[in-house]
Amino acid sequence: MLGVQVGSSPHLQEAPMSTERADAARNRAVLIATAREMLAELGADKITMDALAERSGLGKGTVFRRFGTRSGIFMALLSDGERAFQKRVLAGPPPLGPGAEPLDRLIAFGQERLRFLTENREIARAALDGRTAVPFGPPALMTQRHLRMLLDQLGVDAADVEILAMQLTAALDVPLLLYTAPEAGDHPDETFEERLARGWKDLVSRLSP
């Protein structure tokens, strides 16, 4: 991460921009856009290295150099989404971005994070390659640091705020979200995502002094 602080978060800092040749950057943009089109039209199962090369009009070598493996395609899609999410947290409008009360930001961050995870479940499952248990591992550190900052600002009365931030992070980056959508049960009028958002608000609202 860059040493330059962005917005009002000393813990959450924007990831460094990679230096990329203009043609390589264009190829990457084409491949990412094409992969998203294929995902929307065909689903993750139909996206292969060969299919992406054919659909994009770029050579197979270009696709392999860019992604390495099929799972690399989906990791790139996740990374693209993560960067957009992080920018909203760093400099977007409140309450997700700076400018809102700590509790409001804490609620908004968790709800938006859960929405991001559930909306990208298909991509995340496709990104699993047998070596990595959860493809959201690296962003979890960003989440933990941001939650720690908000808990400090909120003035939470906790014996160990660092551990509390870690446990709240686990609630947002849990592997269970990749595969589980419980039955509606007593909540037939709410979607799984709505129930997650309400549950997060119920949880963190109890932390307010």
Break the chain into its structural domains and give their ranges.
18-68, 70-205
Query: pTM for this one?
Result: 0.80
The whole-number pLDDT of residue 4 equals 29
User: pLDDT tens digits, residue range 45-99?
Assistant: 999 999 999 999 998 999 999 999 999 999 999 999 999 999 999 999 999 999 9
pLDDT of res. 129? 66
* Residue 18: strand, helix, or coil: coil
Q: State pLDDT tens for residues 90-142.
A: 999 999 999 999 999 999 999 999 999 889 988 988 887 655 555 456 688 89
Which residue in the block uniquely carries the two structure tokens 């813990």?
A: 11
Contact 128, 120 (CB under 8 A): no
CATH superfamily of 18-68: Homeodomain-like (1.10.10.60)
Is the predicted pLDDT of residue 35 greater than 50, yes or no? yes
CA gap 193, 116 in Å, rounded: 10
Q: What is the 3-state secondary structure (H, E, C) of the chain?
A: CCCCCECCECCCCCCCCCCCCHHHHHHHHHHHHHHHHHHHHHCHHHCCHHHHHHHHCCCHHHHHHHHCCHHHHHHHHHHHHHHHHHHHHHHCCCCCCCCCCHHHHHHHHHHHHHHHHHHCHHHHHHHCCCCCCCCCHHHHHHHHHHHHHHHHHHCCCCCCHHHHHHHHHHHHCCHHHHCCCCCCCCCCCCCHHHHHHHHHHHHHHCCCC
